[in-house]
Structure 1
Amino acid sequence: MTRNLTLTLLGCLTLVACGTPQEQCISQNTREYRVVSNLLREVEANLARGYAWEEREVTRTEWRDCPVVVRDKDGNARWIDRPCLRDVSDTERYRVAIDPAAERRKADNLRQRRAALSAQADEAVRACRAAYPEERR
């Protein structure tokens, strides 16, 4: 899953957790439409760029300060920091070649799917607004 899509989905989950009943209803009933729309946006961006972005976790070792307990000659313990090697993980983005014909087919299929889901999403929004009317300010 790409980083943008992950952030979008996390934002939607936050909306579901904190939104009004109407917002929660709309969010839950239009989830698939939003996912397909986000995938289509990503495929169209890949076509425009000519390549896709992928992500991978990269682990590297670096020096850090590590807390260590030391005792003095009387047996009293205290914490000190000593340098030590620790593994650190980063997310690295890299370019991936795409097959433009396959990406165009994917975009066409996603457009068809989004069009099919659009009527369902519109109906769900109307039903949620009717079931959970909100006051206008």
Structure 2
Amino acid sequence: MRRNTALALCLALPLAACGTPQERCIDRNTSEYRTVSSLLAEVEGNLSRGYAWEERQVVRTRFEQCRRVYRDRNGQQHVTTYGCWRDVVDNERYRVPIDPAAETRKRDGLVERQAALTRGANAAVAACRAAYPEAA
């Protein structure tokens, strides 16, 4: 019985990830507020650390096992493996110095923008909850 329940939950999770109509409505109508909040959290993190994080892509060469498929005289396929070098792209995080005065101005601007968006986001959430009530 437990196995069937676990299987049903595993199959239902991808469908639940899409969200209910209420969740989709809230998500759609509060995207700018969430973006500003995310940027604000990033700027505050930069100020508390004293530096920012950036990412760059780095190409590295890695030794791997490669496969080669060939046919013999009778037409049968054979697979051989051999060592080969492959290029692999990695993302690398690195520190970037910040200008604390500029980051402070950026934070202050984002705080003002977040405060301006808060009323609209709250109204949108209330409207979505009224339009799509969820069953308890």
TM over 0.5: yes
1:104 aligns with 2:104: yes
Aligned residue for 1:127?
127
Aligned residue for 2:85?
85
Q: Secondary structure at the match of 2:27?
A: helix
Q: Secondary structure at the match of 2:68?
A: strand
**Letter aligned with residue 45 of structure 2:** A
Distance 1:23 1:73 in 2: 62
Cα displacement string for residues 2-51 of structure 1 (whole angstroms, at most 9, x for unaligned residues): xxxxxxxxxxxx99961111111001000000000000000000000000
Q: Secondary structure at the match of 1:81?
A: strand
Q: Report matched runs for 1:42-121 at 5 Å.
A: 42-72=42-72, 76-121=76-121
Distance 2:16 2:29 in 1: 11
Return the TM-score normalized by structure 1.
0.83
Is the contact made by 1:64 and 1:85 (CA closer than 8 Å) also made in structure 2?
yes
Is the contact made by 1:52 and 1:97 (CA closer than 8 Å) also made in structure 2?
yes
Structure 1 stretches of 5 or more lacking a match? 1-13
Distance 2:16 2:28 in 1: 7
**Letter aligned with residue 133 of structure 1:** P
**Letter aligned with residue 38 of structure 1:** S
Is the contact made by 1:15 and 1:24 (CA closer than 8 Å) also made in structure 2?
no
- Structure 1 position 74, deviation (Å): 5.2
Structure 2 stretches of 5 or more lacking a match? 1-13
- Structure 1 position 81, deviation (Å): 1.1
**Letter aligned with residue 88 of structure 2:** V
**Letter aligned with residue 36 of structure 1:** V
C-alpha change, 1:102 and 1:15, in structure 2 (3 Å) is farther
**Letter aligned with residue 55 of structure 1:** E
Which sits farther off after the overlay, 98-107 or 65-74? 65-74
Is the contact made by 1:71 and 1:78 (CA closer than 8 Å) also made in structure 2?
yes
C-alpha change, 1:116 and 1:16, in structure 2 (3 Å) is farther
**Letter aligned with residue 65 of structure 2:** D
Return the TM-score normalized by structure 2.
0.84
Q: Secondary structure at the match of 1:19?
A: coil
Distance 1:81 1:104 in 2: 57
Distance 1:74 1:116 in 2: 76
Cα displacement string for residues 61-120 of structure 1 (whole angstroms, at most 9, x for unaligned residues): 111111112445656430111111100111100000000000000000000000000000
Q: For the aligned residues, what is the CA RMSD? A: 2.0
